[in-house]
Structure 1
């Protein structure tokens, strides 16, 4: 029996329509999906890092750039890559509120950068947390948010984060620690997430 769309801790299930958006016909198991997504993400990360060299941290707060980054990371695997979800989830804002919350978030992020509200690491971790909390896309929100956090912190002159130095797509102690750090950040305590980002 295929485990393709089984849901692990901290993951959100896809709707039937979103599942039909899977592009490669050969994918039947979760490990095949993970491998296809990881390959797409690797290629996208190289291209995004090259593109970002010509941009400022402020440019990364553009809503269109965030959608384009998601599309680059998942376009080889999902037809809906780069498009906001249209259904509610067990995490994130309601679907009808995504555009408003993304606008508020990107405005806030521009203010954080312009006014130097937070040190670079904290600014990038808050950027990551706010994006993952909105959960704007059907899938891949955590990986996109970590990628965006890395790109932002690098443009602010720091090294990219290690995010626990293990895969966060598989269940285990590292993923559990990450989810607990996100939950603490939801309660306005960023300490654990800041530590996890550099662990």
Structure 2
């Protein structure tokens, strides 16, 4: 399955392949545009669900899985479940759970010991979550929402993430991917700047 964030093909009218349809719930979807629209509607509902909750611990593994399910569960049967195949991005599928637990423990430590500023803690959390790539699809969108929820827990303003739809806006998506790659090389500043742009 492709990841719309990293896809080079920006043609929204591209047909979805039989492989890409695996696990798809709505039967009417035949193009990438229809898929993006259905996902965005579900993601908006997931946002409302997440922000309406009084009790939400974004540093809880089960909450992160439920968040993904709320964001994409009406579009994909596998929503909220970790991927079972290896990809060209993300950790080995067998390392998803230990890497995720390590990330959550690290973030708790950073918060408790004020290792980084709240902005940097949140952006590092986002980057590592994207790098783990726990789900078959929707990882960037899930990680941005999870980071926004962590921002609330830390009492800081939500990030703007380039102020554009990263699936549809090619230039903003390019800047985001470049910032993620810089963070892969241990340069977090471009991702911090992008998150607040």
Within 1, Cα distance between the matches of 2:106 and 2:28?
Answer: 42
Once the two structures are superposed, the pairs formed by residues 68-87 of structure 1 within 5 Å of their partners are 68-87=66-85
In structure 1, which of residues 49, 52, 71 is the aligned counterpart of residue 51 of structure 2?
Answer: 49
Structure 2 CA distance for partners of 1:145 and 1:115, relative to 1, 3 Å: same
Among 185, 190, 195, the residue aligned to 2:188: 190
Long gaps (5+) in structure 2: 9-15
Q: C-alpha separation between the residues in 1 aligned to 2:114 and 2:3?
A: 39
Secondary structure at the aligned position of 2:58 is classed as: helix
- Counterpart-to-counterpart distance in 1, 2:72 and 2:186: 30
- Which residue is 2:145 aligned to? 147
What CA deviation, in whole Å up to 9, does each residue of 1:98-119 have, x standing for no partner? Answer: 1111111111111112222111
86, 89, 95: which is aligned to 1:88?
A: 86
Write the deviation string for residues 151-180 of structure 1: whole angstroms up to 9, x where unpaired: 101221111111000110125111000000
Q: How does 1:61-140 map to 2 (within 5 A)?
A: 61-140=59-138
Can you list the C-alpha shifts for 1:45-93, whole angstroms capped at 9, x where unaligned?
0110111x334xxx21111111110010000000000000010101010
Deviation string, structure 1 residues 107-133 (Cα, Å, up to 9, x no partner): 111111222211111111011000000
TM-score, length-scaled by structure 1: 0.89
Question: How big is the alpha-carbon RMSD for the aligned residues of Structure 1 and Structure 2?
Answer: 2.1
> If the length of structure 2 is used for normalisation, what is the TM-score?
0.90
- Equivalent positions of 1:173-184 (< 5 A) are 173-184=171-182
What is the rounded CA distance, in whole Å, between the counterparts of 1:148 and 1:137 in structure 2?
14
Residue of structure 1 in register with 2:35 after alignment: 33
Residue 22 (structure 1) aligns with: 24
Q: SS in structure 2 opposite 1:60?
A: coil
Distance 2:66 2:107 in 1: 18
Question: SS of the residue aligned with 2:78?
Answer: coil
**Structure 2 residue matching 1:72: 3-state secondary structure:** helix
Unaligned runs of 5+ in 1: none
- Inter-CA distance 157–127: structure 2 relative to 1 (3 Å threshold): same
* Matched residues, number: 190
Q: Does 1:10 align with 2:6?
A: yes
